[in-house]
C-alpha cells in the first residue's frame, strides 16, 4: 500500500570529541603554511588567474564570493572536529542514530530499514551498515549507500521512495565523514577536512508535508579530479588517502553553477513551486563561501540568512547537509509549513536538490562541545 506523504520525522547530528584549529599547521608544518601564505592561493577550489580586463568566463558568482578569502591561507577554515582514540565512523553513526531515534520516540524494534552512508567506512566489503545495525540492536534490513558528499541527500531520496512505495515504514538513515584519517596533514587538502555524523528518521508524515519534489544528476565530469589511494600507515596497516589533481580546483569551480542551477530549478519544477515560494535554503558547504555562492548564483537576496556551519566544522562530506539542516532548523527556526530547498553536491559522484514542506520534525540535542584540542 503506497503512502501519500513522506518526509523527515526526526533529525540529529553528532561530532567527535576532538577539535583541530589552524594552529595545528603552524605548530607541525610551519614551512607549508609559509609557502601557501607566500603564494596566496590554494590548489583546491582556487580560481584561475585572469588578465586585467580579460573576458568573463561565466563564473563570477563563485569568484566573487571566494574573493574575500584569497588572502587567508586557510580559505575561511577556522575549526574542524577530528576523531580521537576510540572514535571511528561506526561510533559516530551509532551516536547520531541514538539521538535521532530518541527524538522520534522510536525504539530499535520500530526501525524497518537502516541506510548507512559512511565516507569512508570502517569496514570495506560489507561496509558499515551491519555493524551499526548490530550496535543499535536493529532487527530489520540494513544496507549501505555511497555517493560521496551527496550521500545524505541521496539516502534521503532513497528512503522517501521506499516508504512511499510501502516497502518500509520507518527508515533510519545514518551518514558519517572521517576525513581527518583520510588526508595527509602535509597536504593542504587536509586543512578543509573535518569529521562528523548525522542521522534522520524517514516515515509517513501529515498529508501535504515532507518531500514535494527533487532532482538529481551525476557529476561524472569531475572524474579524475579527486580520488583515494591506498598507503601504508605507521603501524604497517593499509588505509586510503584522499588526493587531488593539479586542476581539481578549476574543474570543481567550473561545474559549481551548472550543477546547482540544474538541480535546484529541476527540484522546484518537480515540486510545482517557484524560488520565491521558498522560505529557507540549505546548502552543503564544502568551502567557506559556498552558501553565499549558491545564493548569488540562484539570485537569492544576499542579505537573506542562510546557515553556514563551515567555520565550525569545515568540510565534513556527507555530514555537511545534516549539519546545516539541523542548525538551520534550530537557529532560524523553521516553522511548520515552511518550504525548504536543500542542495548537496559531491565530486565524482552526484548532486541533487529537494523541496520539503517542513512538518513536525523532532530535533535531537545540540552537539556536545569538543573536549580535546588536537593542535
- Domain range list for the chain: 6-48+57-367
CA dihedral of residues 279, 282, 283, 289 (deg, nearest 10): 80
Nearest-angstrom CA–CA distance, 280 and 284: 13
Give just the sign of the alpha carbon dihedral 158, 242, 187, 85.
Answer: positive
pLDDT in tens, 15-30: 999 999 999 999 999 9
3-state secondary structure the chain: CCCCCEEEEEEEEECCCEEEECHHHHHHCHHHHHHHHHHCCCCCCCCCCCCCCCCCCCCHHHHHHHHHHCCCCCCCCCEEEECCCCCCHHHHHHHHHHHHHHHHCCCHHHCCEEEEEEECCCCCCCCCHHHHHHHHCCCCEEEECCCHHHHHHHHHHHHHHHHHCCCCCCEEEEEEEEHHHCCCCCCHHHHHECEEEEEEEEEECCCCCEEEEEEEEECHHHCCCEEEEEEECCCCCEEEEEEECCCHHHHHHHHHHHHHHHHHHHHHHHHCCCHHHCCEEEECCCCCCHHHHHHHHHCCCCCCCCCCCHHHHCECCCHHHHHHHHHHHHHCCCCCCCEEEEEEECCCCEEEEEEEECCCCEECCCCCCCCEECC
Instruction: Dig out the grid coordinates for 291 from the structure.
Output: 552558501
- Output the nine-digit C-alpha cell for 272: 510545482
* Confidence (pLDDT) at 25: 98
Domain covering 6-48+57-367 in this structure, CATH number: 3.40.47.10
pLDDT in tens, the chain (375 residues): 889 999 999 999 999 999 999 999 999 999 999 999 988 644 445 555 544 333 334 578 999 999 999 999 999 999 999 999 999 999 999 999 999 999 999 999 999 999 999 999 999 888 999 999 999 999 999 999 999 999 999 999 999 999 999 999 999 999 999 999 999 999 999 999 999 999 999 999 999 999 999 999 999 999 999 999 998 888 888 899 999 898 888 888 999 999 999 999 999 999 999 999 999 999 999 999 999 999 999 999 988 999 999 999 999 999 999 999 999 999 999 999 999 999 999 999 999 999 999 999 999 999 999 999 999
Q: What is the pLDDT of residue 39?
A: 82
At residue 234, φ and ψ (nearest 5 deg) are -60, -30
Q: How far is CA 82 from CA 59, 119, 243, 264, 316, in A?
A: 33, 14, 19, 32, 10
**Sign of the Cα pseudo-torsion (103, 108, 113, 118, in order):** positive
Rounded CA-CA distance 370/211 in Å is 34
For the segment 192-236, what is each residue's pLDDT rounded down to a tens digit?
Answer: 999 999 999 999 999 999 999 999 999 999 999 999 999 888 888
Q: Which three cell numbers stand for residue 83?
A: 576523531
| Distance separating alpha carbons of residues 20 and 32, to the nearest angstrom | 17
Please give the pLDDT value at position 55: 34
Q: State residue 42's pLDDT score.
A: 44
Cα distances (angstroms) measured from residue 109 to each of 69, 106, 112, 140, 150: 49, 8, 8, 8, 29
| Cα-Cα-Cα-Cα dihedral sign, residues 85, 86, 90, 92 | negative
First to last CA, the chain: 54
d(CA 77, CA 70): 12
Q: CA-to-CA distance for 182 and 120, rounded, in angstroms? A: 8
Amino acid at each position: 500500500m503506497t503512502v501519500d506523504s513522506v518526509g523527515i520525522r526526526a533529525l540529529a547530528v553528532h561530532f567527535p570529541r576532538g577539535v583541530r584549529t589552524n594552529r595545528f599547521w603552524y605548530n607541525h608544518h610551519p614551512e607549508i603554511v609559509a609557502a601557501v601564505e607566500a603564494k596566496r592561493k590554494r590548489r583546491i577550489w582556487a580560481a584561475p588567474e585572469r588578465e586585467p580586463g580579460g573576458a568573463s568566463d561565466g563564473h563570477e558568482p563563485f569568484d566573487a564570493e571566494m574573493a574575500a578569502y584569497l588572502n587567508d591561507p586557510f580559505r575561511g577554515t577556522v575549526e574542524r572536529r577530528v576523531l580521537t582514540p576510540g572514535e571511528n565512523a561506526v561510533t559516530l553513526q551509532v551516536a547520531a542514530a541514538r539521538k535521532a531515534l530518541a527524538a522520534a520516540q522510536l525504539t530499535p524494534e520500530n526501525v524497518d530499514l537502516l541506510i548507512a552512508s559512511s565516507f569512508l567506512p570502517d569496514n570495506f566489503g560489507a561496509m558499515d551498515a551491519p555493524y551499526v545495525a548490530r550496535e543499535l540492536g536493529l532487527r530489520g534490513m540494513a544496507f549501505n549507500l555511497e555517493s560521496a558528499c551527496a550521500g545524505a541527500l541521496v539516502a534521503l531520496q532513497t528512503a522517501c521512495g521506499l516508504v512511499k512505495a510501502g516497502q518500509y515504514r520507518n527508515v533510519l538513515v545514518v551518514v558519517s565523514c572521517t576525513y581527518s584519517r583520510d588526508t595527509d596533514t602535509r597536504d593542504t587538502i587536509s586543512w578543509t577536512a573535518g569529521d562528523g555524523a548525522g542521522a534522520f528518521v524517514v516515515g509517513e508524515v501529515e498529508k501535504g508535508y515532507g518531500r514535494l519534489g527533487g532532482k538529481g544528476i551525476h557529476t561524472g565530469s569531475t572524474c579524475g579530479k579527486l580520488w583515494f589511494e591506498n598507503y601504508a600507515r605507521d603501524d604497517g596497516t593499509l588505509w586510503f588517502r584522499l588526493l587531488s589533481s593539479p586542476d581539481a580546483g578549476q574543474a570543481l569551480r567550473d561545474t559549481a553553477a551548472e550543477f546547482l542551477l540544474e538541480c535546484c530549478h529541476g527540484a522546484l519544477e518537480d515540486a510545482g513551486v517557484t524560488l520565491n515560494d521558498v522560505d529557507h535554503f540549505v546548502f552543503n558547504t564544502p568551502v567557506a563561501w559556498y552558501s553565499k555562492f549558491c545564493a548569488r548564483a540562484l539570485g537569492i537576496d544576499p542579505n537573506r540568512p542562510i546557515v553556514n556551519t563551515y567555520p565550525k566544522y569545515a568540510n565534513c562530506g556527507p555530514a555537511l547537509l545534516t549539519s546545516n539542516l539541523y542548525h538551520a532548523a534550530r537557529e532560524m527556526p523553521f516553522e511548520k509549513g515552511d518550504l525548504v530547498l536543500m542542495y548537496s553536491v559531491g565530486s565524482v559522484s552526484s548532486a541533487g536538490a529537494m523541496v520539503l514542506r517542513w512538518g513536525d520534525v523532532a530535533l535531537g540535542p545540540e552537539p556536545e562541545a569538543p573536549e580535546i584540542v588536537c593542535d
